[in-house]
Structure 1
Amino acid sequence: MRVLVTGGAGFIGSEYVRMLLASGNSDPADPPVCPSAVTVLDKLTYSGNMNNLTPVREDRRLRFVQGDICDPALVDEVVAGQDVIVHFAAESHVDRSIAGAAPFVTTNVLGTQTLLDAALRHGVGRFVHVSTDEVYGSIDEGSWTETWPLAPNSPYSASKAGSDLLALAYHRTHGMDVVVTRCSNNYGPYQFPEKVIPLFVTNLLDGGTVPLYGDGGNVRDWLHVHDHCRGIAMVQEKGRSGEVYNIGGGTELTNKELTGRLLEACDAGWDRVVPVADRKGHDRRYSLDISKISAELGYAPSIDLDRGLAQTVQWYRDNRAWWEPLKETGTAVVG
């Protein structure tokens, strides 16, 4: 099986590549996905990092191609001969999308369309489109099922909703084998330090302060990146064509509660927290119902938040050489 992973040098994509290439040598609970070849296509923008692939760089099954999913000629060349495409590549920073939406529409919508067209031409067996719970908008109570109407509130989430609909349209129109996954907030090692957990942890480890939007009452469900990738692998292997699968972590926290846990893990106090004005259109609460993927594919999160956060904080303590060159001061994302 030959697998193309777009955005495979990013946070989640690189975790998926490392998991694919470690299949049979890692956690026995991981799905037995055993590719004969893995091609990574990544533009290596600010959040793509070849160091994320260092643990598997010498694997002879790995091929890396630097390039843009919006480049039709390159995409056509890379897609040819692939059995499966797992599509992670996306602009994903909500605050950046509020400041300027054009790159998000270009990459997330037109880039996805370019990949779908190439997959259709070359008869790719399965197209896994990786999306986000943010396409559902905000929910005051209860949890979203996969049939919930899409109501995105930021340019980022609107562009992802558009790409979801495109992917599903190719299934309905052309009969392509497409599946869509929607995840809750990810955390774990190798996450670019603009997102809330690595931003807060690295700031605190450096003796700095952390920004907290509004009243800190926005609620998120936290999902360890490895559990997310396990869920994607299950969908890749056994998900029903044309279906959407929610992948969640099962632990909801307010941003203030999360901040408290990170302060404790970094031996810091609340004097290090700086309140900032709330984000425009800030979704109040996300919550995914994961009963579908659990019942159909046997998915359940395996890394509880206490253990996952402890391991993540320790990873950033131990890997300053990875994150210090990437640090962006003044960037705050909490949702």
Structure 2
Amino acid sequence: MDRNFTRLLDLLTLVPRHGKLSTPQLHQRLRARGHDVSARTVQRDLEELATAYPIECDIRSKPFGWGWAAGAPHLSLPAMDWSEAVSFQLLSTYLHGILPDSVMDTLRPYVEEARRKLAQHVPGMPLKRWPERVRIIPPGPGFVAPKVPRPLHATVTEAVLMGCKLAIEYRAFDRQRAKRYVVSPLGLVQFGVVFYVPATFDGHGDVRTLKLHRMLRAELLDEPSGIEHFDLDAWLEAGGMGFGGQERIRLVLRLFDGMGERLKETPLGPDQVVVEEAPGVHRLEVTVIQTVQLERWLWGLGNSVAIVAPEALRGRMHDALISAIGRLSYSQYRFSAQTDIGKN
């Protein structure tokens, strides 16, 4: 087989069906796939491919870009089967947002082909209906996802994909105005309906967590981010998405209403031990990372849990509970008093 064949095939799949990519951009993505050739070679390849396939170079504005001609037929070798069609349909439903826009642009023709295939009326094909019979639902309320402009999402995911720095305008939760920063994005994490970007700020070595929807603008910079030296899994295991906290604690809980039996099915950690003390009452011990997320989860258990240890955590939860009771009493008194005044 001609050693150039796989390069030409990969290049053809990288040419976007919607929008355009410049020769340097296509060159960069081709190198990411393991093809170590010059930008000039890529340009010659594109010109050669354009003689056989309906791809064209848009020279109306700089930078010039390559794309498929409008209405160009989709090429699929070999034809998509039912398993592939179902897989692409589920991918577009559940991985939307977590994949780089450049990847989704590449996959879009396959997703469209999958939808056309699944729309066919074929009796006796159970797999065709699989996407209608599976769902992923959030463990909490069904929050509405914050809006992230598509160009912004595309720029950030491209920076993560290619390992480049970003110049961003970011508005923190407690700030009225956005500030400009140069950051090194080190990954993309979806938590519920929100996307987070672990990143380091220029001049600082600590990893901070940025919310994607709080970025107002993002510009891709031609500077390496150092993402290849970052271990996303290790960062997460150290409590990165717990909004800080690396201290490991020995958590001891007394669980009521059968909650202990439920946590046997989904343990909090590999060393978890659950002992029944009375019918429906269990003592649980496990080593976990002390995070805000842990405390929020404990709050969610309500009166089904009593914290035995550590003492510091039990004290914080106790103080927070007293504060909540105080606010509830104050709200009831204040608004009931206002109602009485209104009646008089």
TM-score tier by shorter-chain length is: under 0.3
Answer 1 or 2: which has greater strand percent: 2
Structure 1 length normalisation: TM-score?
Answer: 0.25
Structure 2 length normalisation: TM-score?
Answer: 0.24
Relative contact order higher in (CA < 8 Å, ≥ 6 apart): 1
